[in-house]
C-alpha cells in the first residue's frame, strides 16, 4: 500500500495532465452555455411552463387535513397527555379538572430541580459534572430565564423518549430487513435530514394548528433520524460471535433481538440518544415559531423587537441548557452497570430515583408555604440585559464607521457581484453541467438523479431563489473551509493546539444553530453579511475536526516510508499526508456544506432573499405547498452536494486502494 499511495499522489487528476483537464472543463462549460442559449427557454425558465407542484401539494394537504381530522385530533390528544403533564410539573402547574372547577398542583420547586440537576450530574459524572449541571440550572434561575427554560425542557423530556423509541423500532426494522433499509429507510432519512427545519413546521402547523403538539411532532420528525441510523449501525456492528451465540443458546427471534442484540449494541444506541437530545433542543427552539413557546420564543420576540440584551440572555440560557444536556447524556452513555447491583434489594437499586423524587416532593411541598421556593424571588435575580445593550451601544458608537465600512465593502464588491453572477446562470446549463459532473464521478444513474433534482428547482419556478441559496451557501462553505482546514492542519501538527481547539469546537457544536445569529445581528444588523458570518461560525466545526482527524490517522509506516525516501517535511505534508487524508477532509467539507445549508435557511429570519425566505414566508401564511416545494428544493441542493462529494471521495479512495 505504501508504494501505491506514493506513486498515485503524483497523478491526482487521473491520467490527464493539468492543462487538458482545464481545457476539457472549459469545453464542457462552453457547450452547456451554448445549449442553454440555443434552446428556447433554456436560460430563464419560462413562467408559463412552471409545474404547479406547490398547488398540488396544498390541495393534497387540504384533503389530508379534511379526511384525517379524526386521526390528527386523536394523535394530538394522545401526545398532549404527557406534554401537559411535563409542562404542568416543570413550568406551569398541573391542573386537575374536577366535576366543578379544578385544582392546580404546584409545579416542581426550582430549588428542587436545581438540586436534582446537580444530583443527576453527580450520579453520571462525579463532582465536576454535578457542579456544571447544578450551577447551570441555578444560573438559569438567577438570570430570570427559569419559566421559559423549563417549558423548553419539558418539551425535550417528552420528545426524546418518543424519538428514541420510534428510532429504535424503525432501526430494528431496517436491520432485520436490509432491502427495506436500502430502498426506503435510508433515502427517507437522507431527505428528512436535509429538508430545512422550517419546512417541517408548515405541514404540522396545517394539520395540528399552532400548538406545542405541532412543535413536538416537528421536533420528533427532525430528531429521530440519528437514532434510526445509530440503531441500524449498532445492531450490525454486534460481533458475529455474539449473534451465533444467541442462536446456539436456542433463543427465539424475539429473545435474540431484545436480550442479546439490543443490549450488546447499547454503546452505539446511547450515542444515538445523545444526538437525538441535541437535535431535539435545536428544533424545539426553532419550533417556537409554531407555538412551542419557551426560550426560543423569547429569542424570537426579542430579535423582532431588536431587544439585544434580552435576546442575548435567552440565547445564553439555551446554550447553557444545551451544554448541560450534552455532557450529562454523554456521561450517561458511558455508564456501566455497577458490580453486584442485582444482589441488592430493590430500594437500594433504585436509591437514586427515590432520592430524586423525595427531593422534588419535599421542596415542592415547601414551596406551598415558602413562596421563595415556588418562584425565584426577584431580590436574588439579576439581569445582564442592560449590560449587553450598553456593550453593543458602545461598540456601535465607537466603531460604527469601521463595521459599516467593512460590511458595505464586502457586500458591494464581493457578495452582490457573486449573487448577480449566480442568479444569472442559465438553468439548463447548470442542469447539464451538474449531470456531466455526476456522470464522470458516479456513473449514469447518479447523473440522472442529479439532473432530475436540479430540474425540479427550475421547473417549480424557484430558480433564482435556488441560485441565491447556492451562492450564500457556497460562499459560506468556502469561507468556513478556508478557515477550518488550516486550523485543522495546524491542530494535527501540534498536540497543544489540538488540546485548545477540541473543547472549543465541541462547545461550538453543542450550541443550537439559532443562537449563532444573535451576537452577529447585534453588530452587523440584518442582511447577507450577518447570515454569512453566523453560518461560517456554525459550519466551520466539521472542517476543522475532519481535517485534524484525517491527517492524524495517516498510517505511521507511510510517513516513515516517506522520510526514508528522503522527503523534506514540506514534501511529506504535501505529497504524503495531505493526499492520504484527502478523502477524510472531503467528508468534512461535505458536512460543512450541509451545515451551511441548514444555517443559511434559518437566516431567512434575518432577511436573506433565497429559498429559506420562501419557506419562511410560506410559514407565516401557513402555505404548505409553497413551503414544502421550497423546502424540497433546499433538500435537493443538499442531496446533490452530498452525492457528488461522496462519489468523488469513493473514487479517490478506490484510486488509492483505501476503499
Partner 1 sequence: MTDVKRPVKLSCRNLWKVFGAGAEEFMRRSNGAASAQALSEARLIGAVRQASIDVHEGEIFIVMGLSGSGKSTLLRCLSRLIEPTYGDVNFDGRDFLKASDTELIEIRRRKMGMVFQHFALLPHLTVLENVGFPLSVQGVPKTELKKRAQAVIDLVGLKGREHHYPRELSGGQQQRVGIARSLAVEPEIWFLDEPFSALDPLIRREMQSELMRLQNVLKKTIVFITHDFDEAIKLADRIAIMKDGEIIQIGAPEELVLNPATDYVAEFTRDVNRAKVMSAQSLMRASAAGGQHAGKVDAKAKVETFAAAIVGANLPFAVTDGNGRLLGEVTPQAVIDLLAGRHVKQAQP
Question: Given the complex with partner 1, which of 239 and 371 has the nearer CB atom?
Answer: 239
Q: Of 162-170, 240-248, 396-404, 461-469, which segment contacts partner 1 by CB under 8 A?
A: 240-248
Window of 112-120, 245-253, 494-502, 634-642 that interacts with partner 1 by CB under 8 A: 245-253
The stretch among 179-187, 260-268, 415-423, 562-570 that binds partner 1 (CB under 8 A) is 260-268
Q: How far is the CB of 187 from partner 1 (least distance, A)?
A: 25
Residue 264 engages partner 1 in binding (rule: CB under 8 A): yes
Helix (H) or strand (E) holding 653: helix 624-656
- The site map against partner 1 for 197-236 (x = CB under 8 A) is ----------------------------------------
| Residue number with CB closer to partner 1 (10 or 241) | 241
* 41 DSSP assignment: T
For CA atoms 483, 484, 489, 493, the dihedral sign is: positive
- What are the residues facing 104 on neighbouring strands? 95
- Residue 343 CB, shortest distance to partner 1, in Å, is 6
Residues sharing a CB contact under 8 Å with residue 552, sequence separation 6 or more, in sequence order: 492
Identity of the residue, 47 or 339, whose beta carbon is nearer to partner 1 in the bound complex? 339
Helices (H), 13-68: 18-38, 53-67
Taking the complex as a whole, the smallest distance from the CB of residue 245 to partner 1 amounts, in Å, to 4
**What is the C-alpha separation between 588 and 612, in angstroms, rounded?**
24
| Residue 251 interacts with partner 1 (CB under 8 A): yes or no | yes
Give the one residue of 15, 96, 248, 380 binding partner 1; rule: CB under 8 A: 248
- The reply to whether 239 sits near partner 1 by the rule CB under 8 A is yes
Distance CA 584, CA 570 (A): 20
Size of the site for partner 1 (CB under 8 A): 23
Among 38, 249, 448, 482, interactor with partner 1 by CB under 8 A = 249
Which residues ranging from 338 to 367 are in contact with partner 1 (CB under 8 A)? Answer: 339-340, 342-343
Whole-angstrom CA distances from 237 to 166, 233, 262 are 20, 6, 11
Q: Is 244 in the site for partner 1 (CB under 8 A)?
A: yes
DSSP secondary structure string for all residues of 548-613: HHHHHTS-HHHHHHHHHTT--HHHIIIIIIHHHHHHHHHHHHHHHHHHHHHHHHHGGGGT--SHHH
250 vs 503 by CB, closer to partner 1: 250
Give the side-chain half-sphere CA count within 13 A for 181.
16
- As a three-state string, the secondary structure of 497-517 is HHHHHHHHHHHHHHCCCHHHH
Question: Does residue 250 bind partner 1 (CB under 8 A)?
Answer: yes
Return the number of the residue (249 or 420) whose C-beta is nearest partner 1: 249
Looking at residue 341, the DSSP 8-state letter turns out to be G
For residues 647 and 438, the answer to whether their CB atoms sit within 8 Å is yes
Rounded to a whole number of angstroms, the minimum distance from the CB of residue 183 to partner 1 is: 19
User: Which of 30, 242, 370, 500 contacts partner 1 by CB under 8 A?
Assistant: 242
Quote the DSSP letter at residue 622: T
Q: x/- site string to partner 1, residues 324 to 343, per CB under 8 A?
A: ------------xx-xx-xx
Interface with partner 1 (CB under 8 A) = 239, 241-242, 244-245, 247-252, 255, 259-260, 263-264, 266, 336-337, 339-340, 342-343
Amino acid at each position: 500500500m505504501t508504494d501505491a499511495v506514493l506513486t498515485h499522489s503524483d497523478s491526482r487528476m487521473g491520467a490527464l495532465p493539468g492543462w487538458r483537464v482545464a481545457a476539457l472543463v472549459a469545453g464542457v462549460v462552453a457547450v452547456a452555455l451554448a445549449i442553454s442559449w440555443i434552446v428556447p427557454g433554456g436560460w430563464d425558465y419560462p413562467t408559463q411552463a412552471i409545474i404547479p407542484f406547490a398547488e398540488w401539494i396544498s390541495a393534497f394537504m387540504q384533503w389530508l387535513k379534511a379526511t384525517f381530522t379524526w386521526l390528527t385530533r386523536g394523535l394530538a390528544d394522545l401526545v398532549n397527555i404527557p406534554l401537559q403533564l411535563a409542562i404542568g410539573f416543570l413550568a406551569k402547574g398541573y391542573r386537575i379538572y374536577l366535576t366543578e372547577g379544578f385544582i392546580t398542583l404546584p409545579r416542581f420547586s426550582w430549588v428542587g430541580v436545581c438540586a436534582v440537576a446537580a444530583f443527576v450530574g453527580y450520579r453520571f459524572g462525579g463532582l465536576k459534572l454535578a457542579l456544571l449541571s447544578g450551577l447551570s440550572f441555578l444560573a438559569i434561575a438567577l438570570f430570570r430565564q427559569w419559566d421559559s427554560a423549563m417549558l423548553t425542557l419539558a418539551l425535550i423530556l417528552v420528545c426524546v423518549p418518543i424519538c428514541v423509541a420510534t428510532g429504535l423500532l424503525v432501526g430494528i426494522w431496517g436491520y432485520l430487513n436490509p432491502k427495506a433499509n436500502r430502498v426506503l429507510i435510508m433515502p427517507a432519512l437522507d431527505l428528512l435530514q436535509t429538508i430545512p427545519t422550517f419546512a417541517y413546521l408548515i405541514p404540522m402547523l396545517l394539520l395540528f394548528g399552532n400548538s406545542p403538539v405541532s412543535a413536538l411532532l416537528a421536533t420528533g420528525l427532525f430528531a429521530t433520524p440519528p437514532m434510526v441510523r445509530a440503531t441500524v449501525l449498532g445492531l450490525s456492528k454486534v460481533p458475529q460471535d455474539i449473534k451465533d451465540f444467541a442462536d446456539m443458546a436456542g433463543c427465539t427471534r424475539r429473545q435474540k433481538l431484545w436480550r442479546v442484540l439490543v443490549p450488546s449494541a447499547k454503546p452505539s444506541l446511547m450515542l444515538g440518544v445523545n444526538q437525538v437530545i441535541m437535535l431535539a433542543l435545536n428544533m424545539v427552539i426553532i419550533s417556537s415559531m409554531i407555538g412551542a413557546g419557551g426560550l426560543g420564543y423569547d429569542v424570537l420576540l426579542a430579535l423582532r423587537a431588536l431587544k439585544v440584551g434580552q435576546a442575548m440572555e435567552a440565547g445564553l440560557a439555551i446554550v447553557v441548557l444545551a451544554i448541560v444536556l450534552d455532557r450529562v447524556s454523554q456521561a450517561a452513555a458511558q455508564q456501566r452497570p455497577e458490580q453486584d447491583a442485582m444482589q441488592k434489594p430493590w430500594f437500594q437499586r433504585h436509591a437514586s430515583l427515590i432520592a430524586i423524587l423525595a427531593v422534588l416532593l419535599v421542596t415542592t411541598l415547601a414551596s406551598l408555604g415558602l413562596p421563595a421556593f415556588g418562584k425565584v424571588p426577584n431580590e436574588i435575580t439579576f439581569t445582564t440585559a442592560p449590560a449587553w445593550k450598553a456593550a453593543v451601544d458602545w461598540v456601535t458608537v465607537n466603531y460604527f464607521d469601521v463595521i459599516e465600512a467593512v460590511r458595505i465593502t464586502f457586500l458591494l464588491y464581493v457578495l452582490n457581484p457573486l449573487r448577480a453572477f449566480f442568479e444569472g446562470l442559465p438553468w439548463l446549463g447548470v442542469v447539464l453541467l451538474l449531470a456531466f459532473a455526476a456522470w464522470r464521478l458516479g456513473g449514469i444513474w447518479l447523473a440522472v438523479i442529479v439532473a432530475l433534482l436540479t430540474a425540479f428547482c427550475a421547473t417549480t419556478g424557484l430558480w433564482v431563489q435556488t441560485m441565491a441559496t447556492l451562492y450564500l451557501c457556497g460562499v459560506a462553505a468556502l469561507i468556513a473551509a478556508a478557515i477550518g482546514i488550516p486550523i485543522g492542519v495546524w491542530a494535527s501538527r501540534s498536540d497543544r493546539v489540538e488540546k485548545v481547539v477540541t473543547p472549543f469546537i465541541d462547545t461550538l457544536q453543542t450550541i443550537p444553530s439559532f443562537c449563532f445569529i444573535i451576537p452577529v445581528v447585534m453588530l452587523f444588523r440584518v442582511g447577507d453579511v450577518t447570515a454569512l458570518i453566523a453560518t461560517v461560525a456554525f459550519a466551520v466545526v466539521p472542517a476543522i475536526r475532519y481535517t485534524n482527524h484525517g491527517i492524524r490517522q495517516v498510517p505511521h509506516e507511510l510517513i516513515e516510508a516517506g522520510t526514508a525516501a528522503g522527503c523534506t517535511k514540506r514534501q511529506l505534508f504535501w505529497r504524503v499526508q495531505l493526499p492520504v487524508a484527502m478523502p477524510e477532509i472531503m467528508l468534512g467539507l461535505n458536512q460543512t456544506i450541509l451545515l451551511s445549508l441548514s444555517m443559511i435557511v434559518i437566516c431567512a429570519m434575518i432577511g436573506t432573499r433565497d429559498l429559506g425566505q420562501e419557506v419562511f414566508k410560506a410559514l407565516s401564511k401557513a402555505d404548505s405547498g409553497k413551503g414544502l416545494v421550497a423546502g424540497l428544493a433546499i433538500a435537493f441542493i443538499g442531496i446533490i452536494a452530498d452525492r457528488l462529494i461522496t462519489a468523488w471521495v469513493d473514487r479517490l479512495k478506490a484510486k488509492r486502494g483505501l476503499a
